[in-house]
Amino acid sequence: MQINGKAYRTIWFENNSVKIIDQTKLPHQFIIKDLKTVKDSINAIKTMEVRGAPLIGATAAYGLVLSIIEKNDLSHLKKSSEELIASRPTAINLKWAVDRMMKKLSGVNDNDILRIALEEVKAIVEEDVSFCKNIGLNGLKIIKDLADKKKDTVNILTHCNAGWLATIDWGTATSPIYHAHQKGIKVHVWVDETRPRNQGANLTSYELNEEGISNTIITDNAGGILMQRGQVDMCIVGTDRTLSNGDVCNKIGTYLKALSAKDNNVPFYVALPSSTIDWNIKDLKQIPIEERNSEELSHVEGVDENNEIKKVRIYPQKSKSLNLAFDVTPAKLVTGLITEKGVCEASEKGLKGLFK
Ligand code: MRU
């Protein structure tokens, strides 16, 4: 998608290093950063210079390429794979991508390993782009139906950033929105701010602005009243891990949006590529929920009058806080799952119908 009128992807490989857009600096500064070692990749995932389930999966896969470049040795590769998997716990794409790479590289000789690793990362990345594009085309039909019925702008609420910045291109939740906009359907997006890291305000609003899509930032708590007032036609969110029964784990606060949507008969869709499906875990309580540093709650970041990024504390120093990064929305609150293969019911039957 576009930044300043120029098409970008979120990650690419150039001159033996991995290029990323540093998302901790957006929307204030646009900085392309080089990852040269596997440690750089782990650090980029941990500090959320890259974030979003599909993108951290791709970054981990590229991390293995960097690991081979720095030391073409099996025990180093294994250690790198373990450290990459441990860098963030909730999004299943991370383990999925590393496992896929390691399977492909198993038994490959030293002369071929780098070439094969690069080919496999390319396959992962291109697959994600095509899956996200298809999610968009499948979700477009839902938006078009709403627009045809309403004969007016369709108001869509989204939470966090499940946009192109969270993937390689297109995004998951945003892909149907981008496709609708490109087809001339009038859409307006309510963007949840998404405390504490403000991925909605900082990233979703930014990328929608760059694509010329009308959007309004709201506090995380405003969705309920907007739904009661009939100002939300549908919700679309992403997911970091989708259980085979249709439960979806996503950024903290998603569950509360789904409850509000249910109470107000607002359709609540979750957009996902099949790489976020966890076919093994059966119970939502078994999903590892990331708990992040409490400083993300006690401090806020913004720019001063000189456009310099500043961080300030907003809590009493003595106060304790708990920073859970994800929650789980039970399948019964989800109207449908928008996948690369079509839209299905949020249930084992629905998912297995599409992904045998
Ligand atoms: O903590 P983050 O910013 O990595 O969380 C991102 C989300 O929760 C997204 O909604 C999710 O990864 C889906 S991305 C297409």
Within 10 A of 138 (CB to CB), how many other CB atoms are there?
22
Q: Say if CB 171 and CB 132 are below 8 A apart.
A: yes
Which DSSP symbol is given to 31?
Answer: -
How far the first Cα of the chain sits from its last, in Å, is 32
Give me the residue label for tokens 């950033």: 161
| Ligand 1 nearest-atom number relative to CA 163 | 15
Give me the residue label for tokens 């806020």: 300
The CA-based dihedral angle spanning residues 259, 263, 265, 270, taken in that order and rounded to the nearest 10 degrees: 0
The residue nearest atom 8 of ligand 1, judged by CA position, is: 251
Q: How far is CA 127 from the centre of its chain?
A: 15
Q: Domains, the chain, ranges and CATH?
A: 2-127 (1.20.120.420), 137-354 (3.40.50.10470)
Residue 115 to residue 225: CA distance in whole angstroms: 54
> How far does the centroid of ligand 1 lie from the alpha carbon of residue 91, in Å?
8
- Give the predicted TM-score (pTM) of the model: 0.97
Q: How far is CA 225 from the centre of its chain?
A: 26
Using CA atoms, how far residue 66 sits from 11, 92, 307, in Å, is 14, 21, 34
Tally of CA atoms within 13 A in the half-sphere of 32 that contains its CB: 11
Tell me: pLDDT of 356 over 90.
no
Q: Which residues are the active-site residues?
A: 240
Give me the residue label for tokens 């709403």: 146
Structure tokens at 206: 């930014």
Measured from CB, residues less than 6 Å from any atom of ligand 1 are: 51-54, 91, 160, 162, 166-167, 171-172, 199, 238-240, 250-251, 325
The residue nearest atom 6 of ligand 1, judged by CA position, is: 52
Q: How do residues 231-279 score in pLDDT, each as one tens digit?
A: 999 999 999 999 999 999 999 999 999 999 999 999 999 999 999 999 9
Q: How do residues 76-132 score in pLDDT, each as one tens digit?
A: 999 999 999 999 999 999 999 999 999 999 999 999 999 999 999 999 999 999 999
Q: How do residues 294-314 score in pLDDT, each as one tens digit?
A: 999 999 999 999 999 999 999
